[in-house]
Every structure is written in structure tokens, then in C-alpha cells.
Amino acid sequence: MTASDKLVVGSPEDILRRAAAVPEYSGFPTLDELADRFAELERQHPELVSSRRIGTSRLGDPLRMYSIGDGSLSHLIVGGVHPNEPIGSWTAVHLLEQLIRDPGLGKALDAAWHIVPCIDPDGMRLNEGWFAKPGDRTAYFADFYRPAGDEQVEWTFPFDYKNAYFDRMMPETLALARAIDWTQPDLYVPLHNGEMGGVYYYLTRPVPELYEMLHRVPEALGLPLDKGEPEAGHLIELAPAIFTTGSLEEVYDWTESLGLDPFPEGSGGESSSAYAQQYGTLSLIAELPYWLHPDADDTTEIDESYGDLLKRTGRTLADSGAQLVELLERAQPHLTLNSPFMRASSRFVPMLVSSGEMSISRGEQTEAQRPATRAELFGCVEHLHMFRLRFGGMLLRALRAEATSGSASAELRRIADVLGETYESWSRESEDPRIQSIPVSKLVGVQYGAILAGAAHLAGVQ
């Protein structure tokens, strides 16, 4: 018997061993490959795995939930909540495979597990162009797609607060709500990921007992925590790189306090995690980067104030957004296709301006008048690069789709050429020889380890 055989299943050491044992994966599976993989696991193990249809996507794909185990706890794991975030595809596959192969794992964690491989298949198909080469940033941004806010499954749950109201739940959102209602989960893990820097987490409530393990899992796999700029200034940090999800009401009030529109046209609704809280659910989100950068966890102070950093990068982002707004306005009279790329661009392009204005407003606040850290510098600059390349690239896809369909006028082709040149210059500015791609197995390992840590905590495993 080896030392690892003596580990208590679900103990910290066992979780770290399991996270490190994730097999090598080549790229990410396409939607059809993912669906086939789950269907085959159910076919091979009908005595363990069952599935039920929870809905249908807008373009007709069946949405299925796979279940295994009969413990006293209920855990729901959902992939594809944002279709440009496919790390969770392999995490979902690996989790189900391990629960099939290792009955001791399921017994120790005392749960019925419910796994939705992908809740937004229509959106994920529009990202498949870069799935075979996830380390290639050029390919990633060129074939990137993220739905408009009011078409995101994650953010289209009902919301009613002050002047904000949203109730346009999509079929996929209704399916996810149905899955949450059916399973009433103790643990809910929507499988997200980020892009660049380090690992960070969200929890819907403080759970101090989890913080150490959430730090140890990426450390054991050689990945840094992201100690730079958080995704939003209102977030409460529970521990380094661990935040509360907060509420959309808090986002509204915080944005309003900065003098900005808290609910602009095209806004979505509440999150799936907020919807699950009616059942006392603990939601856990592990945000993982595709690429590493040494500055992501460097808290050394730099010779620039945090406020000046926010204002400087905010002005550049707002100016870049204004360029895209001008090109979009010029293109509008010539558009013939109501493509998802154009719908998303119409929402996100103006957001670059408002996001830049938000950074400028934050930079003027009293608490920002302190030295910035190298990690914050990296986070602000990467935020700028990410937004320009994501949404400039999507607008370019939208314009080129018109050309591909044969409906682009001469003026629209000229606008696409101008945007193409601008996009190429932004792409060159984002180049950094210190950027390193991360093996997919390590990313899956962190996400898988975080799921096991949350489940072990709720099961009372010591």
C-alpha cells in the first residue's frame, strides 16, 4: 500500500492528489464531441448515470442534465454559462468519469451529483474556431464570441430594483432555473474562467474553512493567485483572490454612486448564483486564466498612484471605445444581417466607453490616492487589452460576416478594412514575451480541486 492509498478520501491531501492527477487534454472539445462523450458515459454505465432533458436551446439543441449518486447532499455543476469559457467542459467530463470509476469518492462526499455539460450550446459553437489551439491568443481573439448581456444565460434571471427591471428569460435560462429548482443544490458551481493572470474565486457567502484549500490547489499545480485589479470595484475580498459574488443591487448602487448609468440599454438580469440562493445554496466559482504573467501576483509598489493608473488606462479605454462607436455608427446603415456578433457588438462597444469612464471616476476617489502595485498595473493594462481585442474583434467578425454572405456594400468593406488595421495595431500593443500559456490539465485540475474542496467541506470531511 502506498502513502497515497492511506489518504482519507476528500481530505486536503487527497484533493490535492486528485487535482494533480488530471490527464493531459489537447485543446477543448467541440459541442458535439462534448455531448457525445456524456451520452457514451451514460450508455456504458446505465446503472450509475442517468439523464433528463431540462430544455432546448434557441437553435434547437437539447439541453441535458446527467446525474450520479444518491447521497444526502445535492450538488449542481453547470458548464458553458459563458460560451467563451470552455475549461469547464473538460472539468465536467473529468468529474463524471471520476465519480463513475471511484465509488469511494462519491461515498465520502455523500452527494447526488447533477452535471449540465453546456447550458449555451448555440454560443459555444461560435467559439469553436479557437478550441483546438487554446494557447494561441491571436486565434482566441479572432474567433472570440460572447453574447450580449441580455442574451447571456448566466445573467438573464429576473431582476427588479429601483429603475431596473428584467424578465426576458431565454429558453436556456429557463432550463437552468429548472435544473436549480429540481436539484435545490447545497453546492452550485457554474463553470467559469478568465483569460490572463492568475486564479481567483467567488463565493456567495463567507466560508473561512475553504480559503486555505482554495489557495493550496492552484499553488500545488504551480499557478499563481491573481492579486491585481478585481473585476469590479464594489467587490468584497474575503481573502487574497477570494471575493463575495455580491448582488446586482450592489452593482447598481455602486455604479450609480459613480455618476454613471446603472442599468443601460441592453442590460441583462440577475445571476444564476443569486437565483440559487433561495435554497440556501453555496455557490463557488473558480476563475482560471488561459495564460500566465509574472506580474499577476506581484504586490510590489510602483511609482504611480492607483488613482492615476485607473484614470490613465480608463481614458485610453474610453478613447478606444469611442473609435469603435464611430465605426459602428458608420456601418449601421449598411448592415443586412441580424447576427449574434452584431447584436453583441451593439451592446459591448458602447460599454468600452462607459467602462473607461468608470475607471476614471474610481481614480478620482479618495481611497485610490495610494501607490499602485505591479499586479494592479498589470491588471488595468490587461483589462484594456482584453476589452479592445474581445469586442473590437467581435465587431470585425460581424462586418466580415456581411462580406462573406455577399451583402457587404463597398462602404461597409472600407469600414471593415479600417477596423482591421486598428485591431491589428491593438493586437501588436498587447504582445508581451513574458506571457505563457497554461496546460489545460492544470486548469481543469484547479477547477476540479475547487469543486471537491467545496463538496468535502459541506460533507464534513476532515
Q: Which domains does the chain have, with CATH numbers?
A: 4-293+438-459 (3.40.630.10), 301-434 (1.20.120)
pLDDT of residue 264: 83
What pLDDT is stored for residue 229 in this prediction? 66
pLDDT tens digits along 212-235? 999 999 999 999 998 876 666 678
User: Of all residues in the chain, what percent carry a pLDDT higher than 90?
Assistant: 83
Give first-to-last CA distance, the chain, whole Å: 22
Q: How far apart are CA 325 and CA 364, in angstroms?
A: 25
E strands, 264-392, where?
282-287, 291-292, 301-305, 371-373
State the average pLDDT over residues 25-31: 94
What is the mean pLDDT of the segment spanning 353-360?
A: 92
What type of residue is 427? S
**378, burial (CB in 10 Å: exposed 0-12, middle 13-18, buried 19+):** buried
Lowest mean pLDDT among 246-260, 282-296, 347-361: 246-260
Note the pLDDT of residue 462. Answer: 66
Interval 388-428: pLDDT, tens:
999 999 999 999 999 888 988 999 999 999 999 999 999 99
User: Higher model confidence: residue 261 or residue 395?
Assistant: 395
Tell me whether residue 174 is exposed, middle or buried, using C-beta atoms within 10 angstroms of its C-beta: 0 to 12, 13 to 18, 19 or more.
Answer: middle
Model pLDDT, residue 1: 35
CA dihedral 248, 253, 258, 260 (to 10 degrees): 70
pLDDT digits (tens, 9 = 90+) for 313-341: 999 999 999 999 999 999 999 999 999 99
Q: Could you give the CA distance from residue 307 to residue 141 in angstroms, rounded to a whole number? A: 29
Predicted TM-score (pTM) of the model is: 0.91
User: Stretch 368-378: mean pLDDT, rounded?
Assistant: 94
Q: For residue 281, give the nearest of 393, 190, 173, 373 by alpha carbon.
A: 190
Residue 3: pLDDT band with limits 50, 70, 90: very low
368 in Cβ contact with 305 (< 8 Å) = yes
| Span 103-118, average pLDDT | 97
Cell reading at 309: 493608473
pLDDT of residue 4: 45
Position 2 scores a pLDDT of 46
Nearest CA to 152 out of 183, 192, 100, 181 is that of 192
Average pLDDT along the chain:
93
Confidence of residue 268 (pLDDT cuts 50, 70, 90): confident
pLDDT reading at 255 higher than 90: no
Phi/psi at 453 (5° precision)? -65, -45
Calpha distance 157→270 (Å, rounded)? 5
More confident residue, 460 or 233: 460
